[in-house]
Homo-oligomer: A and B are copies of this chain.
Amino acid sequence: MLYYPEPLARVISELQKLPTIGPKTAQRLAFFLLRMPESETTKLVQAISDVKTLLSYCDICGNITDRSPCYICTDPERDLQTICVIEDPDDLLAIERTKEYNGLYHALMGVLSPLDGVGPNDLRIDPLFERIRNENIKEVILATNYTTEGQATALYLTKRLENAGIVITRIAYGIPVGGDLEYIDEVTLAKALEGRRRV
């Protein structure tokens, strides 16, 4: 950082705090910002600020939204008897993009992770049970990730829900569409075999 004037060194250091941005990219971005028309940087700065001031999480499902309840929770066209439980709001957007799901969501805002000190009370688990009690829910789809923590969280929820008289499902794991058996890791392949269905 030796020869950078302070404002340049500072923007490079701030940019490096973002994911996927290393020292080289941060430097390249900094020079680009320097050359950008001021009207463009103003728009960028405004957009970053607005993300913090205009957006929050839906009080019901945890979706990222500019109003609460969000557009999904208030949509009368959606299936109000199904809740898909996800780790983070990002996962909601991924599922929405498939256009295959028309139910409600519930973001836990994390996963159970005893090593990191994250227990059931640190997640939005109580609000989930409250919704299940108060709304007319028939099915809970557990769509946490296929990681140790995601699996443990799904297991924990399954145990607590088993006497609630609702259908509990877990999304399927297997070979990704377009995936080549030769290059799939063995754990995924084992899951794909285990989850095989009659054709």
User: Which residues of A come within 8 Å of B, CB atoms?
Assistant: 2-8, 10-11, 13-15, 17-20, 25, 28-34, 38, 40-41, 43-45, 47-52, 54-55, 64-66, 88-90, 93, 96-97
Shortest beta-carbon distance, A183 to chain B, in Å?
Answer: 21
B48 near A52: Cβ-Cβ < 8 Å: no
How many copies, total?
A: 2
Bound-state CA distance A90–B12 (Å) is: 14
Bound-state CA distance A6–B55 (Å) is: 9
A18 near B32: Cβ-Cβ < 8 Å: yes
Give the nearest-CB partner of A95 in chain B.
B3
What's the dominant secondary structure at chain A's contact region?
helix
- Which of these, B33, B34, B51, B89, contacts A7 with CB under 8 Å? B51
Shortest beta-carbon distance, A66 to chain B, in Å?
Answer: 4
Bound-state CA distance A7–B5 (Å) is: 32
Give the nearest-CB partner of A43 in chain B.
B14
B15 near A33: Cβ-Cβ < 8 Å: no
Bound-state CA distance A1–B91 (Å) is: 14
Residues of the B chain whose Cβ atoms lie less than 8 Å from the Cβ of A10: 47, 50
Residues of the B chain whose Cβ atoms lie less than 8 Å from the Cβ of A52: 33-34, 38, 41
Give the nearest-CB partner of A50 in chain B.
B7
A17 near B33: Cβ-Cβ < 8 Å: no
Shortest beta-carbon distance, A13 to chain B, in Å?
Answer: 8
